[in-house]
Structure 1
């Protein structure tokens, strides 16, 4: 007898979940955890004034605001959750925020110097589509920054649990080896890599 497989619409699940917690995001466990990734990006990413930065999975816009303390950037945020986008617009009127999918970016070619993904990549159902879009909207020398969770010992068990029970739009947690393979397959090379406690951090350029 065939086992019933729960079919996920990951983008819809993410949108529904983050719409529910948008108002109180900073006071949720998700908001608390995401702070570590944001601070790690701010510490390691080199920025210059007048750079254009796109934050994908921007939630309430906090990362852009933190980066703007380091350099005078032109910030744009994209999130699958309309609720999050509305909050971000209220909190950070200096930046532009849009609702949309990471796999169909609503921006013109060669628009951004830097594209950041802070603890959001594991929500993307089709990474290859995301990588193609990221390459399209980045300028020729642009950088793609991915900060993701690192749970070396229990990755397989964690992913089994996600597939069975998760309703928050999580697709999969990746090992560094899996990410390195994904990057290479999709035409990206790693120019900076750091692993610290539960964070893996990559800066990528198009090959």
Structure 2
């Protein structure tokens, strides 16, 4: 029987939402958020979606550099409730990355920070990003990089993970997924345990 990864993620993060920022997961996620902020320039007036927004901190960090309309999506209702209470200037929605609850071409930038490995069907997610991005819009992904232990770690996830983690991708595999989905890769780089991608939706 296959796992319901989204339900596992929902249950885990509902339980851990209030203590997430003080947890080891929260500590590690901070590295990804800070890396994105350093790399990404967002034009003022943009509409930005953070998929897997957790407590909403990434949008707040990004808003220190530019003025945009920010939205967050998370599978955990407890996370979105906490994010909305903490950062009321943004709009947070509970929902699935497999079926983004937004209109076509709603966003200029979609960001995914250390969440892609939770998605049970990455092709479906990328198709949804393609649908909801404006023409020429930008997708940003920062993901876990495990060049040595990745295969063992993925075996472990398949056997034992209760947090909804599906798979950690290698750099070329993730780049290929983006290109097959119709994105134009404009930046791809590796930094320690982070792999980072910026891609445009074709005009």
Alpha-carbon distance between aligned partners in 2 of 1:16 and 1:101, rounded to the nearest angstrom: 13
1:185 is displaced (CA, Å) by 1.7
Per the alignment, residue 3 of structure 1 pairs with: none
Q: TM-score normalized by structure 2?
A: 0.98
Instruction: Write out aligned runs for 1:1-207 (5 A).
Output: 7-207=2-202
How many aligned positions are there? 202
DSSP 3-state at the match of 1:77: strand
Alpha-carbon distance between aligned partners in 2 of 1:9 and 1:117, rounded to the nearest angstrom: 21
The CA RMSD measured in Å over matched residues stands at: 0.8
Alpha-carbon distance between aligned partners in 2 of 1:177 and 1:72, rounded to the nearest angstrom: 33
Alpha-carbon distance between aligned partners in 1 of 2:71 and 2:103, rounded to the nearest angstrom: 13
1:206 is displaced (CA, Å) by 2.4
DSSP 3-state at the match of 1:109: coil
Alpha-carbon distance between aligned partners in 1 of 2:55 and 2:125, rounded to the nearest angstrom: 21
> Bigger CA drift: 95-104 or 177-186?
177-186
2:133–2:201 Cα contact (<8 Å) kept = no
Q: Deviations over 1:11-70 (max 9, x none)?
A: 000000000110111011110000000000000001121111000000010000000000
Q: TM-score normalized by structure 1?
A: 0.96
DSSP 3-state at the match of 2:153: helix
Flag as ranges the 4+ runs of structure 1 deviating above 2 A: none
